[in-house]
Amino acid sequence: ELKVEQNPLFLSMQEGKNYTIYCNYSTTSDRLYWYRQDPGKSLESLFVLLSNGAVKQEGRLMASLDTKARLSTLHITAAVHDLSATYFCAASYGNKLVFGAGTILRVKS
Protein backbone atom coordinates (compact mmCIF):
# COMPACT_ATOMS: atom_id res chain seq x y z
CA GLU A 1 0.00 0.00 0.00
CA LEU A 2 1.35 3.37 -1.02
CA LYS A 3 1.76 5.82 1.86
CA VAL A 4 3.03 9.37 1.73
CA GLU A 5 4.62 11.21 4.63
CA GLN A 6 5.20 14.91 4.52
CA ASN A 7 7.11 17.06 6.96
CA PRO A 8 7.02 19.43 8.55
CA LEU A 9 3.27 19.76 8.98
CA PHE A 10 3.57 23.37 9.97
CA LEU A 11 6.24 25.84 8.99
CA SER A 12 6.55 29.41 10.13
CA MET A 13 9.17 31.32 8.19
CA GLN A 14 10.57 34.79 8.16
CA GLU A 15 10.51 36.62 4.88
CA GLY A 16 13.75 36.22 2.98
CA LYS A 17 14.65 32.87 4.53
CA ASN A 18 15.06 29.51 2.81
CA TYR A 19 13.48 26.24 3.81
CA THR A 20 12.66 22.77 2.50
CA ILE A 21 9.55 20.60 2.75
CA TYR A 22 10.13 16.86 2.55
CA CYS A 23 7.92 14.19 1.05
CA ASN A 24 8.65 10.49 1.51
CA TYR A 25 6.63 7.73 -0.12
CA SER A 26 6.63 4.07 0.76
CA THR A 27 6.57 2.16 -2.54
CA THR A 28 7.40 2.70 -6.19
CA SER A 29 5.40 5.51 -7.71
CA ASP A 30 4.94 6.71 -11.28
CA ARG A 31 4.89 10.42 -10.56
CA LEU A 32 5.22 12.87 -7.76
CA TYR A 33 3.02 15.96 -7.62
CA TRP A 34 3.18 19.15 -5.64
CA TYR A 35 0.06 21.24 -5.12
CA ARG A 36 -0.70 24.51 -3.39
CA GLN A 37 -3.98 25.20 -1.61
CA ASP A 38 -5.04 28.62 -0.38
CA PRO A 39 -7.68 28.84 2.38
CA GLY A 40 -11.13 28.05 1.04
CA LYS A 41 -9.76 27.28 -2.41
CA SER A 42 -9.07 24.24 -4.50
CA LEU A 43 -5.68 22.79 -5.38
CA GLU A 44 -3.31 24.49 -7.78
CA SER A 45 -0.85 22.25 -9.58
CA LEU A 46 2.75 23.35 -9.01
CA PHE A 47 4.98 20.56 -10.29
CA VAL A 48 4.86 17.07 -11.72
CA LEU A 49 8.08 15.06 -11.36
CA LEU A 50 8.44 12.01 -13.53
CA SER A 51 11.92 10.59 -13.24
CA ASN A 52 14.83 10.17 -10.90
CA GLY A 53 16.85 13.34 -10.58
CA ALA A 54 14.08 15.51 -11.99
CA VAL A 55 14.27 19.11 -10.88
CA LYS A 56 11.74 21.80 -11.69
CA GLN A 57 11.70 25.44 -10.69
CA GLU A 58 9.06 28.13 -10.76
CA GLY A 59 9.87 31.44 -9.18
CA ARG A 60 10.95 30.90 -5.57
CA LEU A 61 9.92 27.23 -5.54
CA MET A 62 12.05 24.33 -6.67
CA ALA A 63 11.02 20.68 -6.55
CA SER A 64 13.23 17.63 -6.92
CA LEU A 65 12.77 13.88 -6.99
CA ASP A 66 15.01 11.02 -5.85
CA THR A 67 13.22 7.81 -6.76
CA LYS A 68 15.85 5.61 -5.18
CA ALA A 69 15.35 7.27 -1.82
CA ARG A 70 11.61 7.68 -2.50
CA LEU A 71 11.98 11.29 -1.56
CA SER A 72 10.85 14.55 -3.06
CA THR A 73 11.67 18.00 -1.76
CA LEU A 74 10.09 21.40 -2.26
CA HIS A 75 12.63 24.12 -1.61
CA ILE A 76 11.56 27.66 -0.89
CA THR A 77 14.06 30.41 -1.61
CA ALA A 78 13.85 33.85 -0.05
CA ALA A 79 10.28 33.39 1.14
CA VAL A 80 7.71 36.13 0.62
CA HIS A 81 4.32 36.55 2.27
CA ASP A 82 2.48 35.52 -0.91
CA LEU A 83 3.83 32.00 -0.51
CA SER A 84 1.72 31.47 2.61
CA ALA A 85 -0.55 28.51 1.84
CA THR A 86 -0.84 24.76 2.42
CA TYR A 87 1.42 22.62 0.24
CA PHE A 88 0.61 19.02 -0.54
CA CYS A 89 2.72 16.37 -2.15
CA ALA A 90 1.06 13.39 -3.76
CA ALA A 91 2.45 10.17 -5.19
CA SER A 92 0.65 8.32 -7.92
CA TYR A 93 -0.09 4.70 -8.67
CA GLY A 94 -1.65 4.51 -12.05
CA ASN A 95 -3.68 7.69 -12.26
CA LYS A 96 -4.68 7.67 -8.60
CA LEU A 97 -3.06 9.96 -6.09
CA VAL A 98 -2.15 9.37 -2.46
CA PHE A 99 -1.66 12.66 -0.68
CA GLY A 100 0.61 13.65 2.14
CA ALA A 101 -0.90 15.39 5.15
CA GLY A 102 0.07 18.82 3.87
CA THR A 103 2.42 21.50 5.14
CA ILE A 104 0.89 24.74 6.37
CA LEU A 105 3.36 27.47 5.46
CA ARG A 106 3.16 30.88 7.09
CA VAL A 107 5.61 33.54 6.00
CA LYS A 108 5.97 36.37 8.47
CA SER A 109 7.00 39.87 7.58
Q: What residues make contact with other proteins under the rule CB under 8 A? A: 31, 33, 35, 40-43, 45, 48, 50, 88, 90, 92, 95-102
CB of 56 to other proteins, least distance (A): 12
Greatest C-alpha distance within the chain: 41
Specify the residue, 77 or 84, whose C-beta has the smaller distance to other proteins: 84
CB of 52 to other proteins, least distance (A): 16
How far, in Å, CA of 105 to CA of 12, rounded?
A: 6
Query: For the CA atoms of the chain, what is the radius of gyration?
Result: 13
